Structures are given as C-alpha cells and as structure tokens.
C-alpha cells in the first residue's frame, strides 16, 4: 500500500511540474498526462527503489535528471514532432525542475515513510544505536602510573 501512495504522490508532483513546464511550449494536456503516467512508473522502480537505497539522494537525483531528459526528449520527438532545439530545450527545462522535486520527494517520502515502515516492520528501532568507549578497562587493578607515593 505504501508503494501505491508513493506512486500517487509522485504522479501528482510530476503532473504539476510537467503541466507547468511543458504547457509553456504549447504541448497538449493529454500528451503531458500520458507522459507523466508513462515516465513515473519506471522512474519509481529504477530510481527510488533501486538506485536511491544503494547510492543515496545525490546519485538518484542525477539519475532522475538523465532519465527524465531522455524520456521527455523521446516522447516529445515521437508525439509532438517540433524542431530539434525546441525538443532539447523542453527536455532539459523539464528535467531540471522534476529533478529538484524528485530530490525533495526522496528526502521526505522515501526517508520518512517508506524506510521508517520497513525498519519498524523488521523489529528494529528507527534510530541506529552507536556505542563508543573511551577508557581502558582496569579490571580492579591499579596501574603503576596511578599509584600515589
């Protein structure tokens, strides 16, 4: 259920960004919503569930930028068919904004909800427990340096 909610949140956020950026370039709304639906599902499974847990937020955001640049470029070339520089501009402009939003999505939803539920489900505490020891064990013995004359 948590993945369905994550996909719904990701769809909503991506749809807002795609509608905000691609309507500036006169892309039809039906094309934008189709692009959103087609692009977020692989992005969620590849970027959020595979890359993000293994490599962290920065690498996942860079991967999302590259993924969304290619997907928007390919989808726009196939459906709208405008000139080459306009398609590249659309793709880069959209990928910059969606990558920023994806970084926020990783930080909020993936860290706080998905990872918290997984760790609680395993029976472990959410916060890691670190222990450090700074002293030597004396075992009840007095060292030569500690004796008073």
123-140 pLDDT, tens digit per residue, is 444 445 556 666 666 565
Residue 147 lies in a domain: no
51-85 pLDDT, tens digit per residue, is 888 888 889 899 999 999 999 888 888 877 666 77
Average pLDDT over residues 10-21: 91
Residue 129 lies in a domain: no
Residue 145 lies in a domain: no
Nearest to 43 by CA among 97, 87, 7, 1: 7
Residue 55 lies in a domain: yes
Domain carrying residue 86: 2-121
Residue 133 lies in a domain: no
Residue 136 lies in a domain: no
Residue 40 lies in a domain: yes
How many domains are contained in the chain? 1
> Could you tell me the pTM of the whole model?
0.70
Show the DSSP H helices in the chain as ranges.
Answer: 2-22, 29-43, 52-55, 57-79, 84-105, 115-121
Higher pLDDT, 26 or 73: 73
């Amino acid at each position: 259920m948590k993945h369905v909610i994550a996909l719904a949140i990701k769809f909503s956020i991506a749809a807002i960004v795609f509608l905000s950026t691609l309507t500036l370039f006169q892309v039809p709304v039906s094309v934008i919503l189709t692009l959103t639906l087609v692009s977020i599902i692989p992005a969620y499974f590849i970027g959020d569930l595979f890359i993000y847990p293994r490599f962290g937020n920065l690498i996942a955001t860079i991967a999302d930028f590259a993924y969304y640049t290619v997907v928007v470029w390919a989808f726009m070339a196939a459906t709208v068919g405008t000139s080459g520089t306009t398609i590249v501009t659309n793709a880069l402009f959209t990928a910059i904004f969606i990558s920023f939003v994806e970084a926020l999505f990783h930080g909020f939803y993936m860290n706080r909800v998905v990872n918290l539920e997984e760790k609680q489900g395993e029976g472990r505490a959410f916060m890691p427990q670190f222990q450090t020891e700074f002293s030597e064990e004396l075992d009840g013995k007095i060292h030569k340096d500690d004796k008073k004359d």
